[in-house]
Structure 1
């Protein structure tokens, strides 16, 4: 009997770890259309916190984004607070009304995303250089469109299910300026 109770407790505990389904945000507005939001130039400001909550890195990203039909390119140029830089170019493909896939040079396999209402859940494995090694770490990103210009992003980074830290990011879409 004790073994059965322990098994039930473990199953209930694992179900609790499943998290929130992006469908929970289906009725939220404004509705996030990735092709519309990620079009043009955006600035993003962020930080990485280790699992203790200490801010380890701060950064600014300039994103040049464009789409051809259902395929988008996000050219991200990072500048970190220590002066180092990095570039990541995403190719995003819209699979249907709600589902997206993405590839980038340092992403292992294909990223998978689902958008509902004002939210996008974006999951992928990143090949992260750590010293002279490369770790494959899991990212679970949640993005929430606040208005036509601002989107907030919270990512949890983990390895083997162990939380390593979090990335907090604020995207701000630059206003298009008409030429004089």
Structure 2
């Protein structure tokens, strides 16, 4: 009987601790992190990126490079992305971003459904949007939870989780390198 009570009390203490790990990260958690990310400053000029998509089993399905030509005028930014995939195919996405109050951003692109929304805090940027993703002749609407972390004045790391109907399809990992003048 004592053993059962001990197991129950241990489980009662452990359950909230285990569940707290499921809460996920919040952009506010990075408010004190340095260097502070200024999207208009970082994404201004030419930025190169190398990335990959891993399916939910962890298998690398696609590798790619991106050359981004970025320009800001006031609170309006344009990020012109030219993708080249490892199979030789290419793609272009032009983001139009707007800096809002309190570190918030909105954005649109030709293959983004509706409006992307994001927020910067400290060195981190969280960006959420729905992408129209063509796969074998069919277009799927997938949700991206995109996190970027500024490492220094040139390097930013990016990790995005792709979901459909709440089911994790895979992850995208990128390394951005800003070209210095």
Answer yes or no: same fold by TM over 0.5.
Answer: yes
Does 2:33 match 1:28? yes
2: CA distance, partners of 1:161 / 1:139: 10
2: CA distance, partners of 1:32 / 1:101: 16
Match of residue 45 from structure 2: 40
TM-score, scaled to structure 2 = 0.88
1: CA distance, partners of 2:101 / 2:173: 28
2: CA distance, partners of 1:104 / 1:96: 21
Match of residue 154 from structure 2: 149
Q: Give the root-mean-square deviation of aligned CA atoms.
A: 1.4
2: CA distance, partners of 1:120 / 1:159: 22
**Structure 2 residues not aligned, in runs of 5+:** 1-14
Match of residue 58 from structure 2: 53
2: CA distance, partners of 1:19 / 1:36: 28
Whichever of the two has the greater Rg, that structure is 2
Displacement of 1:98 in angstroms is 0.8
2: CA distance, partners of 1:17 / 1:159: 20
Displacement of 1:175 in angstroms is 1.2
Alignment map for 1:122-141 (pairs within 5 Å):
122-141=127-146
Match of residue 80 from structure 2: 75
Match of residue 115 from structure 2: 110
1:117 to 1:60, Cα distance in 2 relative to 1, 3 A = same
